[in-house]
Amino acid sequence: MLKDYSEISLKPEDFEGKVDFVRIFGRSGPVHVEVGSGKGIFLLNQGKAQPEINFLGIEWAGRYYRYAVDRIGRWGLTNVRIIRTDAAGFVAGSVPDSSVDCFHVYFPDPWPKKRHHKRRFLCPANVEHLVRCLKTAGQIRIATDHADYFEQIQRVIADQSDKLEEIDFIRPAGAEEGEWAGTNFERKYLKDQRPIYTLAVRKI
């Protein structure tokens, strides 16, 4: 049976205005935000590998969110929080300017049908908000198995070339051998031998 941990599971209604990261984590420190956390595999492994970093996951799907909360709580990770909400709206409306050290966007829904492309998270408007929220030298790290979406991502990032510079994509400390990010979806795609496309940029 999945258990809820109130100190880990955040609710949108908990916030009035912008998020206070020091308050929700109970300490200051670097802030990393994962957009689309799924079952929380990245948060679990990365939170354990880097206890000095505060990790916030955003997940919309209720069953994945509840699973992630249960696992984070069982692992006893005090540096990880997760919120169930729409990522685009949350980043745009609740994350303060220059407050995040890194955004992790791994295997976002590609919405492959052309009529659904407007639903893709990594669109110009959302990337502008990611950049706004980043501290100077903060990073966005991206991985996808979808070639068409990756081409769109490259174009969107290129349009921010006055604010972002491309850097080497460094595997997270919590990723296992042969993995780029260490998420549940990535492990499925690697078993299917799908190509993985990665991109990392830094705010100038």
What CATH number did the domain enclosing 135 receive? 3.40.50.150
- Lowest mean per-residue pLDDT among 7-11, 49-53, 114-118: 114-118
Q: What angle in degrees, to the nearest 10, is found between the helix axes of 62-75 and 41-49?
A: 30
Is residue 16 predicted with pLDDT exceeding 80?
Answer: no
Tell me, yes or no, whether 85 lies in a domain: yes
Question: What's residue 137's pLDDT?
Answer: 99
Tell me, yes or no, whether 3 lies in a domain: no
Torsion of CA 18, 21, 23, 28, to 10 degrees: -150
Is residue 93 predicted with pLDDT exceeding 90?
Answer: yes
Question: What's residue 100's pLDDT?
Answer: 99
Torsion of CA 108, 114, 118, 119, to 10 degrees: -40
Q: How many Cβ atoms sit within 10 Å of the Cβ of residue 16?
A: 7
Tell me, yes or no, whether 104 lies in a domain: yes
**What pLDDT digit, counting tens, does each position of 26-82 carry?**
999 999 999 999 999 999 999 999 999 999 999 999 999 999 999 999 999 999 999
| Geometric angle at alpha carbon 26, from 22 and 29, rounded to 5° | 55
How many domains in the chain?
Answer: 1
CB 150 within 8 A of CB 113: no
Structure tokens given for 186: 């990535």
Catalytic residues: 109
Tell me, yes or no, whether 2 lies in a domain: no
Tell me, yes or no, whether 166 lies in a domain: yes
Q: Which domain holds residue 170?
A: 9-203
**What pLDDT digit, counting tens, does each position of 148-201 carry?**
999 999 999 999 999 999 999 999 988 988 899 999 889 989 989 999 999 999
> H or E segment at 125?
helix 124-133
